[in-house]
């Protein structure tokens, strides 16, 4: 359903613009941030600027300001230079990893298991999360720019929640990875977590809220949804699939090291995703859970990380 751009700001819905209109706004943001060189130039593709514009409801000045903050962060934090050896110790338990399968829309899948948190270092946890995000983005096909999060709550309890890590995670994901989350499935979340999620609903945009779905292994509707999204022969058994191979840190390390070797070329050739994003039909929130979202007048980013739990992790953001 199209949305009247003049009403978009008050309904909390995203403006619907034609391609020429979008390109004009992208060009204006590019003018406001000024000439970029090196990695910053590669990062600031039309697709990238479009994501920042969507995160700010196509407000050029706000999008430009947000993008400038990210460019400064990337220059200082250097996320593209993090390598497997820098974060291997954080990955040992399989608390976050990129699966070896994608969903039927071609989206990269990040599996998260908050109960497997193995570190007390906020700095280390965030660094590993950033590494995982960069790797997931690196592995997106040219026509896709969003990813899926599969969050397995097996063994999860209140002791796995860290407010400090959650805040830092929310900050990084919201400010520097806008519009990267396509869907987050919270699989077999304990009963105490749903009320917690509902509590933060007022601070989430409708489109963000609707990206987060609760799913349960004993629910037939959940099974249907998972079948629509994934090839069950590839999907892990923990999420109802037929693959019971399990996480192998040694095999995963080999995969990541191979990807690391390709990173330098990526940032010198400008092999960035297509400037024409693929829009995947969104799931009706009532299909995986009974929650529905309302519009919000507050300016916020796709804040799935605000919900999230540790970087171990479920940090809600987009």
Q: What is the pLDDT of residues 189-213, one digit of tens each?
A: 888 777 767 766 665 556 667 788 8
In the chain, what are the domains? 19-77 (1.10.8), 82-267 (3.40.525.10)
Could you tell me what percent of the chain has a pLDDT over 90?
Answer: 57
Token pair of 213, please? 């779905």
Q: Quick one: average pLDDT of 98-111?
A: 96
Q: Cβ neighbours of residue 200 under 8 Å, at least 6 residues apart?
A: 306, 307, 316
Q: Quick one: average pLDDT of 106-110?
A: 96
Which residues on neighbouring strands pair with residue 193, listed in sequence order?
none
pLDDT over 90 at 180, yes or no: yes
Strands (E), the chain: 96-102, 108-112, 147-152, 181-187, 212-215
State the pLDDT confidence band at 255, using cuts at 50, 70 and 90: very high
Mean pLDDT of the chain: 80
| Long-range pairs for 70-76: beta carbons < 8 A, 24 or more residues apart | 70/175, 70/176, 71/33, 71/36, 71/40, 71/43, 71/44, 73/175, 73/176, 74/39, 74/40, 74/43, 74/176, 75/40
State the pLDDT confidence band at 299, using cuts at 50, 70 and 90: very low
Q: What is the pLDDT of residue 82?
A: 97
Q: Quick one: average pLDDT of 285-303?
A: 38
pLDDT over 80 at 39, yes or no: yes
Q: What is the pLDDT of residue 313?
A: 35
């Amino acid at each position: 359903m199209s949305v009247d751009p003049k009403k978009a700001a008050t309904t909390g819905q995203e403006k619907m613009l034609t391609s020429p209109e979008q390109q004009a706004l992208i060009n204006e943001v590019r003018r406001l941030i000024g000439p970029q060189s090196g990695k910053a130039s590669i990062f600031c593709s039309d697709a990238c600027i479009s994501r920042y514009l969507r995160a700010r409801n196509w407000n050029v000045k706000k999008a430009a300001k947000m993008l400038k903050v990210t460019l400064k962060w990337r220059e200082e934090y250097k996320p593209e230079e993090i390598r497997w050896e820098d974060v291997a110790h954080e990955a040992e338990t399989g608390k976050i990893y990129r699966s070896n399968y994608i969903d039927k829309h071609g989206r990269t899948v990040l599996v998260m298991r908050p109960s497997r948190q193995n570190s007390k270092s906020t700095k280390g946890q965030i660094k590993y999360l950033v590494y995982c995000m960069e790797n997931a983005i690196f592995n997106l096909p040219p026509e896709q720019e969003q990813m899926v999060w599969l969050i397995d709550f097996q063994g999860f309890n209140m002791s796995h929640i860290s407010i400090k890590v959650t805040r830092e995670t929310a900050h990084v994901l919201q400010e520097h990875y806008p519009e990267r989350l396509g869907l987050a499935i919270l699989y077999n979340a304990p009963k105490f977590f749903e009320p917690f999620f509902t509590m933060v609903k007022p601070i989430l945009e409708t489109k963000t809220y609707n990206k987060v779905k609760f799913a349960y292994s004993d629910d037939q509707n959940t099974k249907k949804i998972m079948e629509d999204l994934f090839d069950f022969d590839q999907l892990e058994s923990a999420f109802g699939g037929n693959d019971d191979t399990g996480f192998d840190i040694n095999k995963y390390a080999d995969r990541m090291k191979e990807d690391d070797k390709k990173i330098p070329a990526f940032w010198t050739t400008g092999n960035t995703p297509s400037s024409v994003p693929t829009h995947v039909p969104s799931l009706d929130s009532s299909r995986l859970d009974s929650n529905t979202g309302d519009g919000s007048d507050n300016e916020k980013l796709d804040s799935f990380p605000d919900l999230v739990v540790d970087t171990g992790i479920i940090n809600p953001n987009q």
